[in-house]
Amino acid sequence: MKKKAIITGANGQLGSAFVEALTGKGYFVYAVDLNIEKITISENVQPVKLDITDEMAVHKFFSSVKSLDVLINNAGIGVFSPFEDRTAAEFKQVMEVNLLGAFLMSQSSVKIMKNSNGGKIVNIASIYGSTSSDERIYGDSGRRNSEVYSATKAGLINMTQYMATHFGKYNIQTNSISPGGIYNQQSEDFVKNYEYKTPMGRMGKTQDLLSALFYLVSEDTQYTNGQDIAVDGGFLAW
């Protein structure tokens, strides 16, 4: 019987790579996103249009999920307006997608996993959940990491630890991955500045995250729980 996984934010740069990676390992994947038009249906991929911040919609989706081995909470958004101009609506939206959405998906997943042989939950956090961003890196890119993005990623790391300590007894392993800067057509100025500050001298690639993901979802990984793995080229080591 195929193992089953749910991946949120499945239409994005990281999510689509995670879908491809797990189907390549023989998983059946529920590929969850608000925009599923670009997600290809196959015998191993079921696109699911879902607002993960809608409690009733999440419960309805999970009513059709009978077994689950892996949940990857990957969905996340940011906001780039200046701190002084941030609106309450912008702040709340980032909180709801990045933190509430992960909570609702985890809550329903835990209920299924507790009644089976356990499972694995991987939360995609960020190095900016552990440190503040350096505004000097951003240069003329027009982008700035926000306080609310960092707050949600810090919260996700802490929620990872909560779930690990409370559900480990059910053989549910909960861990997080904190990516550093992943290249995605950022401005030349940003890339140059980021590479200068990173000990390995380059931005990350999506593929750099896969080894950590494979480790955390592997059947051979039976005693790693409550950990945050930074995949950042040494950025946090400064």
The pTM for the full model equals 0.96
The CATH number for 147's domain is 3.40.50.720
Task: Give 182-217 pLDDT, tens digit per residue.
Answer: 999 888 888 999 999 999 999 999 999 999 999 999
Any idea which residue has 């990173």 for tokens?
Answer: 198
Tokens of 12: 């994005």
- Domain tally for the chain? 1
Residue for token pair 């059910």:
170
Q: In what order do the strands lie in the sheet with 45-49?
A: 45-49, 28-33, 4-8, 70-73, 119-124, 172-179, 228-231
Q: Is the pLDDT of residue 53 over 70?
A: yes
80 confidence band (pLDDT: 50, 70, 90): confident
**Nearest alpha-carbon partner for 145 in 128, 161, 158, 130:** 128
**pLDDT at res. 25:** 97
Residue 136, pLDDT score: 86
Q: Spell 102-134 as b/e; 16+ CB within 10 A means b.
A: bbbbbebbbebbeeeeebbbbbbbbbbbbbebe
Helix (H, G, I), strand (E, B) or coil at 122: strand
Q: Is the dihedral of CA 68, 69, 73, 75 positive or negative?
A: negative
Tens-digit pLDDT profile for residues 24-46: 999 999 999 999 999 999 999 99
Domain that holds residue 226: 4-237
Q: Which whole-number Å values give the CA distances from 107 to 21, 75, 93, 182, in the listed order?
A: 25, 16, 20, 29
Cβ contacts of residue 37 below 8 Å, gap of 6+?
Answer: none
